[in-house]
Amino acid sequence: MTPGKFDELQCILKAIPTTTHLILLTETWIQSESDAKLQQLTGYTHYYNFRDDSRGGGVSIFIHNSLDHKLTEEKYTDGNHFLWILLKKISLNIESAMSDHKHIYLELIKRIPTNKEKIKYDAVDYDKLYKCIKELDLKSEHHNYSNLEQNIKMCIKESTITKTKRVNLPKDDWINKDIIAGINTRNTYWRKLKKDPKNKNKLNDFIRERNRVTININKTKKTYYYGAFEKCGTQLCNNIPAQYHLLSNFTTCENTPTAELTQLELTTSTEVVKIISNLDSN
């Protein structure tokens, strides 16, 4: 699966108002374990099988982590891929094939809605804190900062309450309504073309909208990540150990480079991810 198609899949998932629990893909063209690991969806487990004796092929199943699931067996033989996934405590109604690649549409007879995670945290009730400090007799503490500090800490402790909030699922901010609308328009042109495949006008409409969607996704995603990296660039540079900022520590075949970290130009979002992943967590 090309990066553009995988980006499009994320756009489609965001456009669906309910949680999609199972996603089945064929002809993924995954060629290695590293390729498979790059194709991850937040909140899903990726099961896959690929061929290493020729190009093409490949099958992937993304299962939402709200389901109880595990891989039981995988197999590749005679150009065919097989994945067996065990889903516990759920009923599935398997309908008919929907394309020449035999996509399977799974209709859930019963499903448990995905609840947002709840977390508890401590917070200061400032009204209560103000009232507590107001009731203190601080006149005698003008020159005794230790007592003043202890009194303030005591009020903060008495004014601290435990709150609960729901954690919203992470969002891909680069996915917008224009992209989703473009995908829908392109799919409409495709359905019209399938009914009248010899119509050149319909073919041109489909190709034009398909190219527009591809360019829009690439441009929007790159702009978003470029801006996000610019905002956190200084912080990331500061997380790099100090000795690596000193160019004189390195011996090179050429002249000592004069470029600073802030002068380096970004290239692709993939390289940005690699830079962040390789930073020292300390």
Q: What confidence score (pLDDT) does residue 273 get?
A: 66
Q: What is the per-residue DSSP string for 237-256? A: HHHS-GGGG-GGG---SSPP
Angle made by CA atoms 263, 266, 268, in degrees to the nearest 5? 170
Regions of the chain with pLDDT less than 50? 92-101, 249-254, 282
Please give the Cα distance from 50 to 260 (Å, whole number).
43
Structure tokens at 252: 């090179």
Residue-wise pLDDT for 86-131, tens only, equals 887 665 444 444 444 455 555 656 656 667 778 888 888 888 888 8
CB 25, CB 8: distance < 8 Å: no
Q: What confidence score (pLDDT) does residue 74 get?
A: 83
Which of helix, strand or coil describes residue 184?
Answer: helix
The overall pTM is greater than 0.95: no
Structure tokens at 260: 């600073």
Q: What confidence score (pLDDT) does residue 138 get?
A: 66
Please give the Cα distance from 210 to 185 (Å, whole number).
9
Q: What confidence score (pLDDT) does residue 249 get?
A: 47
Residue-wise pLDDT for 199-228, tens only, equals 999 999 999 999 999 999 888 888 888 887
Q: What confidence score (pLDDT) does residue 96 get?
A: 44
The number of angstroms, rounded, from the C-alpha of 199 to the middle of its chain's C-alpha atoms is 39
Please give the Cα distance from 152 to 171 (Å, whole number).
40
